Amino acid sequence: MTNRDLTTLPAAQAAAEIRSGVLTSEALAQACLSRIAETDGAIQAWEYLDPEAALAQAREMDEIRRAGRATGALHGVPVGLKDIIDTADAPTGFGSPIFEGNRPAADACIVERLREAGAVILGKTRTTEFAFAHPTSTTNPWDAGRTPGGSSSGSAAAVAAHHVPLAIGTQTAGSVIRPASFCGTFGFKPTRGVISRRGVLRTSQTLDQVGVFGRTLEDVSLLAEVLGSYDPSDPLSLPRPRPTMVAGVQAEPPVAPDIAWFDLAFHDRLDPDAREGYEQVLEALGPRVERFDVAPQLSELGQIQETIHEYEFLQNFEELIERDRDRLSSTLQAVIERARKISQAQYEDAQAVKASAEAFFTGHFNEFDAILAPSATGEAPLLSANTTGDPAFCRIWTLAGLPCVNLPILVGAHGLPIGTQLVGPAELDDRLLRTASWLLKTLSDSEEET
């Protein structure tokens, strides 16, 4: 055990070893903290760390196990939290100097779920300003001159850099899937309403969703399953049983899945190496994929998402904007100016289109198990571009509240990761994860044959 690099352990394996006594939570937490101390000066994935508090949690989990008491699904496993998630014992700053030192009165619902599962809250990861578009200081672990994506910048980078096996982010446009693509991790955003948003910064009441990062498909399914629960304080929380995510990953499809690919109008934004990679994936899947021509109606849904997002952001932050406008970035001020031009009628029309899109995809999945799509335009952009990347390839699926997973299976022209996205039917997250597992195995078998 002493010769192993504990920071590379998948979360599911680490939890099993801790429960069986092969590994201690303290040893794993210390390994993660040492890795952070060695490398975070360059990466800057973490906004807040209290190493002693994290180690105290880990020791408590070890004592619980040694005493023969009940252990949870993530017992002793370190987890990073995006710094828009409330924690009663640590500050939550929302990526803004306006809230420096802010101490919430209570934990977010998902933090309560983590504690119940025995997880160790390692610290808070950096987010873009109010989880919107202004880049953070976080860099991409693959290339310090490139963005890790946003707004869940630190969460994606922390998992990719082996700082922590699991991290939590949020997605309102593409803030889980795109950073996962740029950083080469698995990223999973479950169906809207599966995970409670109580205690998470509200930027858009109809679009905000919680997502997760991990090293394996099983890891992200395990974390999402732990976080899922009905919460009547969240108006979008689904008041019914949740999909069994881990069982989905472990299951074999009864028949080979049928997958759709839409040639959307904005696919001209894809980098050439990304386009080539996706064509190779489609070729490897062969008759399992049906391609559809450019669908203008679908392409326009991205603008609908943007309209709702910006209109609701302005609603939620109007008081703060009036009070602290001079302390907001120029990036965010430009968003606010655009939002002020959106009328109530335009917003209501956008909500009606959103409802139509949800109905369309419900019918579409009667014929297909999943949609294959790009996760991003290609490799992570350079930091000098002052962007966290284009969310165009995620907006539609977020708008419709569909479950999405990033699979880190492609490599770009500069040797950097490019993710492939699978999108599934609402509330059939287990089927999506089953299809994703099948796809990974199918592509692996195809590579071995060639």
pLDDT band at residue 1 using 50, 70 and 90 as cut-offs: very low
Residue 144 burial (CB count, 10 A): 11
pLDDT of residue 447: 81
- The amino acid at residue 36 is I
Residue 414 tokens read as: 């500069």
CA 138 to chain centre: 16
Q: C-alpha angle with apex 225: 174 to 435, nearest 5 degrees?
A: 65
156: which residues sit within 8 A by CB, 6+ positions away? Answer: 148, 149, 167, 169, 176, 179, 180, 182, 183, 185, 187, 213
Residue 128 tokens read as: 């873009």
- Half-sphere exposure at residue 258, Cβ-oriented, CA atoms within 13 angstroms: 7
End-to-end Cα, the chain, rounded Å: 36
Q: What one-character-per-residue DSSP string does 268-317 give?
A: GGS-HHHHHHHHHHHHHHGGGEEEE---HHHHTHHHHHHHHHHHHHHHHH
Q: Determine contact, residues 164/32, Cβ cutoff 8 Å.
A: yes
pLDDT band at residue 142 using 50, 70 and 90 as cut-offs: very high
pTM (whole model) above 0.85: yes
341 is catalytic: no
Residues 196-234 as b/e (b if ≥16 CB within 10 A, e otherwise) read: bbbbbbbbbebbbbbbbbbbbbbbbbbbbbbbbbebeeb
Q: How far, CA to CA in Å, does 289 sit from each of 149, 270, 347?
A: 29, 20, 35
Eight-class DSSP state of 47? E
Q: What is the pLDDT of residues 393-428, one digit of tens each?
A: 999 999 999 999 999 999 999 999 999 999 999 999
- The amino acid at residue 438 is W
152 is catalytic: no
What residues form DSSP beta bridges with 291? 261
pLDDT of residue 295: 75
The whole-angstrom separation of Cα 358 and Cα 291 is 21
Which helix (H) or strand (E) segment holds residue 58: the answer is: helix 51-66
Q: Which of 96, 155, 175, 196 is catalytic?
A: 175
CA 180 to chain centre: 7
Q: What is the pLDDT of residues 22-57, one digit of tens each?
A: 999 999 999 999 999 999 999 999 999 999 999 999
pLDDT of residue 297: 80
Q: What is the pLDDT of residues 178-230, one digit of tens each?
A: 999 999 999 999 999 999 999 999 999 999 999 999 999 999 999 999 999 99
Residue 90 tokens read as: 């640590």
Q: Which of 25, 82, 124, 153 is catalytic?
A: 82
354 is catalytic: no
pLDDT band at residue 239 using 50, 70 and 90 as cut-offs: very high
Q: Which of 25, 96, 151, 204 is catalytic?
A: 151
Q: Determine contact, residues 42/246, Cβ cutoff 8 Å.
A: no
Average pLDDT of 311-327? 96
Average pLDDT of 119-146? 98
Average pLDDT of 377-390? 98
pLDDT band at residue 10 using 50, 70 and 90 as cut-offs: very high
What residues form DSSP beta bridges with 422? 372, 405
The whole-angstrom separation of Cα 106 and Cα 443 is 45
Q: Determine contact, residues 442/284, Cβ cutoff 8 Å.
A: yes
What SS3 state is found at 414?
coil
Pairing between β-strand 289-292 and β-strand 209-214 as defined by DSSP bridges? unpaired
- The amino acid at residue 181 is S
Eight-class DSSP state of 382? B
The whole-angstrom separation of Cα 352 and Cα 254 is 37
Q: Determine contact, residues 165/200, Cβ cutoff 8 Å.
A: no
Residues 274-297 as b/e (b if ≥16 CB within 10 A, e otherwise) read: bbebbeebeebbeebbeeeeeeee
Whether omega for the bond prior to residue 151 falls within 30 degrees of 0, making it cis, is yes
Q: Determine contact, residues 186/156, Cβ cutoff 8 Å.
A: no
pLDDT of residue 285: 97
pLDDT of residue 339: 98
Eight-class DSSP state of 200? B
